[in-house]
Chains A and B, each alone.
Chain A
């Protein structure tokens, strides 16, 4: 495949205005699926978490999960939406084996929530209001594995294998209105928007929101329109593309930037944009053409005859509204004050999408600074090296346990980093890694003193200097002792003991 030409980003912004739109799918963390009592559970052997309804077998009937409706209403309210006095489900008809029924139960003309907005904070601290058109309930589809062909992709596959465990998992699809005015910050806005949605659903406790598992998925629509020439009417909107498979916050930002540069190059060259789905490739940082929009998008929606209207009472809506957590912007202000972070420290955490992780780690007992240091530092470094999301590597509970081990003196920083790697590599909790790898700091003074006496004896000139009051000379002995202890000692304690032993000799 030929590599697409890209225009310089700043040049593209000079010539064109980016126009955005997002569809974010959120998998709800209910115990059961949207329309059947099958467990809603990630993983598991293929085709085990399914009922006749998940397979659309004859005679099976869907029944709405009441908890999923409550979660959807809460989410709608948190997005500033109105809740429809009456909403209904609809069938979206298409032929594809990711659902066995040949239709997906979704909502069409009567979504449960509509007309809201979300305030999103850009990296420079500016607030941007993203308009929300609607949020509707639907069911997730099964998972296809394409077999045969060189690349495991659809092209060239000999057959496909279908696992319906995910079929019927409750989803809320959040659709924005057209977003104007993001300008050069379009990529950052995209990332900040998805990050904010993630913060909202996590604080509501309605989704695991783990992007690497597909709990939260973003389809990014983008088009470019030429800058208005003074004295002339604004140009019409450009043709948009929809980029799918964007499975991390970092990818959302990169995909938008890439599409702006790609579309700008085509338009500036006199070409036209094809309205199509594009697939994001994390490894190459590019998008490739997928399915063109065509007849196949004629889904022939009609009201789902097997389900009844959802008519939430005002009491229920007000009860859920009263139980909403504080809005993300207010929460950010509160956390920043509570944690005592500087503007820069807080923005680093915020821009890295680590607010939830740091907050959870603090809740689990770590100090805010220690939580920030680990997430923004070592964990982010490893995540970057492995092209993963930090949150996918380690849990806040484990990070808090690691911090506790450091605070208690059982680990020094160097050992703690080794323990972290062990935890990330699946060797267990921090304590389990410490035990299994024998990584604890040597706190037995006897062992330290023996090593110190040996080091002092080996370096009589250093000993003389220390006795002469030149304490900085102790560094050489401390180094030798730390080496003898294979780094598993508390350097401050070693220093104390070195000075003590030198004075006593």
Chain B
């Protein structure tokens, strides 16, 4: 059985800005635990000569030429904005700082 705890789930939910009820935390802890258990089964068949992979497609070095392309107009850029000042997105004052 995995070692996913309710504290970890609550912590992750907080980081992801998802509000969870205690009941949801309890059920998600079990579900995440079983997902981790299932993924762990893969480790049992993976031998040392199989390198870890982060991507399912055997491709690498896909690059773009450094040539400018089309850009959005300001109107297009702001079209989906909940609020703006005509040229910039307007967001509520953030109690935080650049990362």
Residues of A at under 8 Å CB distance from B?
A: 30-32, 36-39, 45-52, 55, 57, 63-69, 86, 88, 92-98, 104, 141, 144-146, 148, 154, 157-164, 244, 277, 290-291, 295-296, 298-300, 303, 305, 308-312
B92 within 8 Å of A by Cβ?
A: yes
Q: Which of B63, B74, B92, B99 contacts A65 (CB 8 A)?
A: B63
Contacts A96-B96, A148-B93 hold; do A298 and B15 have CB atoms under 8 A apart? yes
B36 within 8 Å of A by Cβ?
A: no
Residues of B at under 8 Å CB distance from A?
A: 11-12, 14-17, 54-55, 57, 59-74, 77-78, 80, 85, 87-99
Question: Which B residues lie within 8 Å of A96 (CB)?
Answer: 94, 96-99
Question: Which B residues lie within 8 Å of A51 (CB)?
Answer: 69-72
Minimum CB distance partner of B59 in chain A: A308
Question: Which B residues lie within 8 Å of A298 (CB)?
Answer: 11, 15
- Considering the chains assembled together, what is the distance between the CA atoms of A43 and B97 in angstroms? 23
Q: Are B66 and A68 in contact (CB under 8 A)?
A: yes
Q: Are A50 and B72 in contact (CB under 8 A)?
A: yes
Question: Which B residues lie within 8 Å of A67 (CB)?
Answer: 65-66
Q: Are B97 and A50 in contact (CB under 8 A)?
A: no
Q: A32-B69, A162-B88, A291-B97 are in contact. List 20 more A-B contacts (CB 8 A).
A: A30-B66, A31-B68, A47-B78, A50-B77, A51-B72, A52-B72, A64-B62, A64-B63, A65-B63, A66-B64, A92-B99, A93-B16, A95-B17, A96-B99, A97-B91, A98-B99, A295-B15, A298-B15, A305-B55, A309-B61
Q: Which 9 A-B pairs have the closest CB atoms?
A: A37-B69, A66-B63, A303-B54, A67-B66, A161-B88, A162-B89, A157-B93, A63-B64, A46-B87
Q: Are A31 and B96 in contact (CB under 8 A)?
A: no
Question: Which B residues lie within 8 Å of A36 (CB)?
Answer: 69
Q: Which of B16, B74, B85, B97 contacts A161 (CB 8 A)?
A: B85
B4 to chain A, nearest CB (A): 15
Contacts A50-B71, A52-B72, A64-B62 hold; do A309 and B55 have CB atoms under 8 A apart? yes
Q: How would you classify the secondary structure of chain A's contact residues: helix, strand, loop or mixed?
A: loop
B10 to chain A, nearest CB (A): 11
Contacts A32-B67, A55-B77, A66-B65 hold; do A290 and B97 have CB atoms under 8 A apart? yes
Q: Are A46 and B71 in contact (CB under 8 A)?
A: no
Question: Which A residues lie within 8 Å of B95 (CB)?
Answer: 154
- Considering the chains assembled together, what is the distance between the CA atoms of A36 and B89 in angstroms? 20
Count of CB-CB pairs between chains A and B under 8 Å: 153
A114 to chain B, nearest CB (A): 18
Question: Which A residues lie within 8 Å of B74 (CB)?
Answer: 45-48
Question: Which B residues lie within 8 Å of A57 (CB)?
Answer: 80
Contacts A51-B69, A88-B54 hold; do A159 and B88 have CB atoms under 8 A apart? no
Question: Which B residues lie within 8 Å of A148 (CB)?
Answer: 93
Q: Are B97 and A277 in contact (CB under 8 A)?
A: yes
Question: Which B residues lie within 8 Å of A311 (CB)?
Answer: 60-61
Question: Which A residues lie within 8 Å of B69 (CB)?
Answer: 32, 36-38, 51
A260 to chain B, nearest CB (A): 23
Contacts A63-B64, A66-B64 hold; do A296 and B55 have CB atoms under 8 A apart? no
Minimum CB distance partner of B62 in chain A: A308
Minimum CB distance partner of A149 in chain B: B93
- Considering the chains assembled together, what is the distance between the CA atoms of A31 and B85 in angstroms? 28
A382 to chain B, nearest CB (A): 31
Minimum CB distance partner of B96 in chain A: A96
Q: Which of B16, B88, B96 contacts A163 (CB 8 A)?
A: B88
Question: Which A residues lie within 8 Å of B11 (CB)?
Answer: 295, 298
Minimum CB distance partner of B61 in chain A: A311
Question: Which A residues lie within 8 Å of B68 (CB)?
Answer: 31-32, 37-39
- Considering the chains assembled together, what is the distance between the CA atoms of A299 and B12 in angstroms? 10
Question: Which A residues lie within 8 Å of B65 (CB)?
Answer: 66-67
Q: Are A32 and B71 in contact (CB under 8 A)?
A: no
Question: Which B residues lie within 8 Å of A160 (CB)?
Answer: 90-94
- Considering the chains assembled together, what is the distance between the CA atoms of A93 and B60 in angstroms? 24
B93 to chain A, nearest CB (A): 4
Minimum CB distance partner of A170 in chain B: B66
A218 to chain B, nearest CB (A): 14
A241 to chain B, nearest CB (A): 14
Question: Which A residues lie within 8 Å of B72 (CB)?
Answer: 47-48, 50-52, 55
Minimum CB distance partner of B69 in chain A: A37
